Amino acid sequence: MKILNLIQCLNLGGMEKATYNLISETYGNIDWHIQSITPAGDGKNLFTSLNIPINDNHYNGKLGYKSHFSLRKKVQKFSGDIILVTGPTLSGCLSIKGKKEKKILAIHFCHKYGNQNPLRWKLFYKYLGIDYDAIICHSPYLLEQTQELAPHLKQKLYLIENSTQIENLTTKEDKQAARQALDIPVDSFVIGNAGWLIERKRFDIFLQVCATVYKSNSNIYCLIAGDGQLRQELEELAHALGVSNQVKFLGWQKNIKTFYQAIDLLLFNSNSDAFGRTVMEAMGYGVPVVASVLEGGTDSVLIQCKNGFLIPKHDINLLAQYCLKLMNDKNLYQKIQVASIDTISKRFNNELYVQKYLEVFYKVLK
């Protein structure tokens, strides 16, 4: 089976990691080729390590119209069985027009964030949805949105929830080694988060909650893995909140395992997340999660008061209370650890994720 993965970008975000999980688990059985719609980022190294052919493309003009013909020319050269479009863009979806291969669309983001005009998405599914033999939604929330916007495509819709690796609980020695490697205090209670430093991800909320927790317990340290356009603004906010000495910005981490081994708690805040992959990764390490998400499918993996804490608003004081509760109650902390790993192992493991994808691949080929 030969598949072209036409992906929106090659950075180190959740979409790219989900794609890497799929490709790395099926590498050898599937002849993968990758075409990035935009210039390749740091995530390219994930795939080149598997010796997978990769092309990228410049992305110029509104919606990439100036670079569309360059992209289309590259896509049209591919000859195989399936084209998997990950993270739809107008340029990418138009570039596959006329191709004989089976086509699958994978949706990784919410349709309604920022009060987007639903008419735009209705038109997208009406005129471009017909090109696909299957459309994969990566959370129940996304599936519900897509069914609402495009009821005529209901028979093509599939739910495949993202997956992550299940890890052993971090030992005291491994935690100490991870913190030494990152040059952060060994004996502090470390609160972390990872992702794009952009407006939607609300790292400003993360810093405000950490500052509130710091007032009650000065033995905390805050760790941010990721980068983006708001980094300088967030560094200035940390200084204004009086916690700049308690916060470290790591930038993108090629070995994210060290980050998860170093932290005691994940504090995740987002305006919109189709599926909080960072949340899921932390849970796979047995790291308790406190989160606030205004819109999205995070509640399909993180269940309030069962395997963590999730609220639908950015309530600084309530989030800080949950953090302090986990810091001060060892029994609760351990209970959440066990429940987190149990959730991932039963519903969100890589084996199940790959199995469901393969079922869709074989079904469309028939």
Q: What average pLDDT does the structure give for the chain?
A: 92
Q: How far apart are CA 246 and CA 239, in angstroms?
A: 10
pLDDT at 321 over 90: yes
Q: Which CATH number is 172-347 given?
A: 3.40.50.2000
More confident residue, 241 or 13: 241
Asked if residue 115 has pLDDT above 80, the reply is no
Q: Give the Å distances, CA to CA, from 89 to 36, 64, 68, 296.
A: 11, 9, 11, 20
Q: Does 117 score more than 80 pLDDT?
A: no
pLDDT digits (tens, 9 = 90+) for 179-223: 999 999 999 999 999 998 999 999 999 999 999 999 999 999 999
Whole-angstrom distance, CA of residue 280 vs CA of residue 348: 8
The pLDDT of residue 170? 92
Q: And the tokens for 296?
A: 């999205």
DSSP string, 258-317: HHHHH-SEEEEEEEEESS-HHHHHHHHTT--EEEEEEEESGGGT--BTTTBEEESS--HH
Distance (Å) of CA 22 to CA 49, 136, 304:
15, 13, 29
2-163+349-365 matches 172-347 in fold: yes
0.75 surpassed by pTM:
yes
Query: What does the DSSP assignment read for 187-240?
Result: SSEEEEEES--SGGG-HHHHHHHHHHHHHH-S-EEEEEEB--TTHHHHHHHHHH
Q: Which distant-in-sequence residues (6+ apart) come within 8 Å of 75 by Cβ? A: 4, 6, 35, 83, 95, 96, 99
15 compared with 204, residue with greater pLDDT: 204
247-251, strands of its sheet edge to edge? 247-251, 220-225, 189-194, 265-273, 289-296, 309-311
Residue 140's CB is within 10 A of a number of other CB atoms, namely: 14
The number of beta carbons lying within 10 Å of the beta carbon of residue 68 is 21
Q: Is the pLDDT of residue 43 over 90?
A: no
Q: Where are the domains of the chain?
A: 2-163+349-365, 172-347
Check residues 65 and 325 and name the one with the higher pLDDT.
325
pLDDT digits 0-9 by tens, 246-278: 999 999 887 889 999 999 999 999 998 887 789
Mean pLDDT of the region 277-290: 94
Q: How confident is the model at residue 32 (pLDDT cuts 50, 70, 90)?
A: very high
Angle between helices 14-26 and 277-284 (to 10 degrees): 60
pLDDT at 116: 61
Predicted pLDDT at 17:
80
Whole-angstrom Cα distance, residue 109 to residue 206?
A: 21
pLDDT tens digits, one per residue of 287-320 = 999 999 998 889 989 999 999 999 999 999 999 9
The contacts of residue 152 (CB under 8 Å, 6+ apart) are: 125, 126, 129
In this predicted structure, the answer to whether residue 114 has a pLDDT above a threshold of 70 is no
Alpha carbon 139 to its chain centroid, in Å, reads 12
The pLDDT value recorded for residue 113 is 63
Least confident residue range of 3-17, 152-166, 290-304: 3-17
Q: How many residues does the chain have?
A: 366
Domain 2-163+349-365: CATH superfamily is Glycogen Phosphorylase B; (3.40.50.2000)
How far apart CA 277 and CA 274 sit, in angstroms, is: 9
Q: What's the rounded mean pLDDT across residues 232-247?
A: 96
- The band of 234, judged by pLDDT with boundaries at 50, 70 and 90, is very high
Q: Are the CB atoms for 137 and 157 separated by under 8 Å? A: yes
